[in-house]
Amino acid sequence: MSLVSSTEMLKRARKEGYCIGAFNVHTMEMLQAVVEAAEEAESPLILQTTVGTVKHLGPEYVAAIAKVAAKSVQVPIALHLDHCHDYELIERCIQAGYTSVMIDASMHPFSQNVEQTKRVVELAHRSGVNVEAELGKVGGVEDELVVAEEDAVLADPTECEEFAVLTGVDTLAPAIGTAHGMYKGEPKIAFSRLEQIAGRVGVPLVLHGGSGIPEEQVKRAVALGMAKMNVATELRIAFSDAIKQVFGENPQENDPRTYMKRAKQAVKAIAQAKMAMCGCVGKAAGQ
């Protein structure tokens, strides 16, 4: 199969009450691991790269690898650019073959967020590319994005409704108390706020900060309208810990194929667990 836009797969997920895992990958091995997990689970998949990863690898390299991966399996795969503020980089990723992009202007006033998002929507929709945006401020650290806990702001349900209408955005990531990175304690998701937003906004909603959220909370969020869950930090930790374990067992190891194999297995296991948690196992059929 070719890479597909995530728009239709996410609409179906919200309609049918499940969530699609969106996994941030930083190497070819991480990408291969989550693709293998999706194929075995017969699950639709969203591959994601941060701005830092795109700058490190180049969008053309990432898109080329993702296209090869998509052709090798029978499950639908979308390629998403996460948390980007740069219009030119978004444009370059679309030209390279990305099928979904996130314009994150949530740090700006509402009107400016609307203006910047509309501009990206106009660009992306010419190529059938999904657009995600954010309202409120999700706390934590992801690449160059740093939002202190005290600066995190929950999304306003009325603004979410107005924003979706004004921008024509395909998916919306409302801040509801989750955070990027691993949680120091129990996540404090504002489920009542999520329920209000879901009641006003018809487009699929996105749960950022999916690493470390307990299964019962994930399932509750999905039941209320979350159709996409981002997972990043858990994958990086699993990948790195597996490599450390190899060198702990054999400090003289110098074959990347040996330690990357172990790292791939670790990432694949996390991805499979998240897919089961999201309820998207077996949902590739008919897409």
pLDDT tens digit sequence for 44-57: 999 999 999 999 99
The rounded distance, in Å, linking the Cα atoms of 136 and 12 is 25
Residue 286 lies in a domain: no
Output the known binding site for Zn(2+). 83, 104, 134, 180, 208
In this predicted structure, the answer to whether residue 184 has a pLDDT above a threshold of 60 is no
**Domains of the chain: total:** 1
Q: Which residues are catalytic?
A: 82
38: CB partners within 8 A, 6+ apart: 44, 45, 73, 75, 77, 271, 275, 284
The pLDDT-based confidence of 3 (bands split at 50, 70, 90) is: very high
Residue 55 lies in a domain: yes
What are the pLDDT digits (tens) for 251-271?
999 999 999 999 999 999 999
Task: Please report whether residue 1 resides in a domain.
Answer: no
Judge whether 287 lies within some domain: no
Q: For residue 136, what pLDDT is reported?
A: 85
pLDDT number for residue 161: 97
Domain of 236 in residue numbering reads as 6-278
Residue 17: both structure tokens together: 């009450």
Report yes or no on 283 lying in a domain: no
Considering the entire predicted model, what is its pTM?
Answer: 0.92
Residue 118 in any domain: the answer is yes
Please enumerate, by residue number, every residue annotated as part of a binding site for dihydroxyacetone phosphate. 181, 209-211, 230-233
pLDDT band at 164 (very low <50, low <70, confident <90, very high): very high
Q: Determine, yes or no, domain membership for 200.
A: yes
Asked whether residue 233 is domain-assigned, the answer is: yes
CATH number (domain holding residue 227): 3.20.20.70
More confident residue, 4 or 151: 4
Annotated binding site, which residues? 83, 104, 134, 180-181, 208-211, 230-233
Percent of the chain at pLDDT exceeding 70: 91
pLDDT at site 148: 41
Q: Report how far residue 230's alpha carbon sits from residue 130's, in angstroms, rounded to the nearest whole number.
A: 16
Selection from 73, 20, 42, 64 nearest residue 231 by Cα = 20
Q: What is the pLDDT of residue 213?
A: 86
